[in-house]
Amino acid sequence: MEKRNKIEKLVSLFPLYSEELGIDLIQPRGRFKWFLASILFGARISEQIAANTYGCFKNSGLDTPDKILAAGWDRLVEILDSGGYVRYDFSTATKLLGIMTDLKARYGSLEELYHQSSGSPDLIRRLQEFKGVGPTTTQIFLRELRGIWGIECPVSTIAKDVAVKLNINLDDFKGSELARVETALVKLSLRYCKRQKCHECGMNEFCLTKKNKNY
């Protein structure tokens, strides 16, 4: 019972990033939107700035490869700046145009990229062939697609470390449930563990680190 209560509390406190952004991953168009958001989250920039910037793309109607390409470099820089993405505005505008150009030329769509992949390792390889899409962006993107796409991707080291602190066995979860648990653990790490805000953390009653240090 305690285990179930712990997991229910964890995923309720920290929902999927895609849910917070209002993205429906069931729909192909939603999966592209999440790909765009994942590219923004993949840079060394705060969660909030990445989320704000995705919102600016959404509000500007730039939610397909064609629309992003049609917007052009100057307009992309404007949108990135409006979201607070000023540190990486020029490089990210260039990166987005390159990814969208390659995606359309090689596959036509993100869904076709998935369908042409022979399995999860091949899917990961194809994604990382895009200049600017590295392991971090790929991990962010694919973890929330578990249970939607037929994939098995490694759990992030960050999530594994927090799972140990909370005495959570990640092998107990598969598919969409694993997606929720892993995302929640990553958020917990970024927002509380990394900042050493143990006293403010909603999961501190389950934390073995807290108990060992007698907080």
User: Is 142 a member of any domain?
Assistant: no
- Reported as a single tens digit per residue, the pLDDT across 31-71 is 999 999 999 999 999 999 999 999 999 999 999 999 999 99
Number of domains in the chain: 2
Looking at the structure, do residues 124 and 23 belong to the same domain, yes or no? Answer: yes
Looking at the structure, do residues 8 and 30 belong to the same domain, yes or no? Answer: no
- Reported as a single tens digit per residue, the pLDDT across 155-179 is 999 999 999 999 999 999 999 999 9
User: Once rounded to an integer, what is the mean pLDDT over residues 196-213?
Assistant: 81
Looking at the structure, do residues 161 and 82 belong to the same domain, yes or no? Answer: no
| pLDDT mean across residues, the chain | 94
Residue 148 confidence (pLDDT): 96
pTM: 0.94
Three-state SS for the chain is: CHHHHHHHHHHHHCCCHHHHCCCCCCCHHHHHHHHHHHHHHCCCCCHHHHHHHHHHHHHCCCCCHHHHHHHHHHHHHHHHHHCCCHHHHHHHHHHHHHHHHHHHHHCCCHHHHHHHCCCHHHHHHHHHCCCCCCHHHHHHHHHCCECCECCCCCCCHHHHHHHHHCCCCHHHCCHHHHHHHHHHHHHHHHHHHCCCCHHHCCCHHHCHHHHHHCC
Domain span at residue 172 reads 2-15+155-210
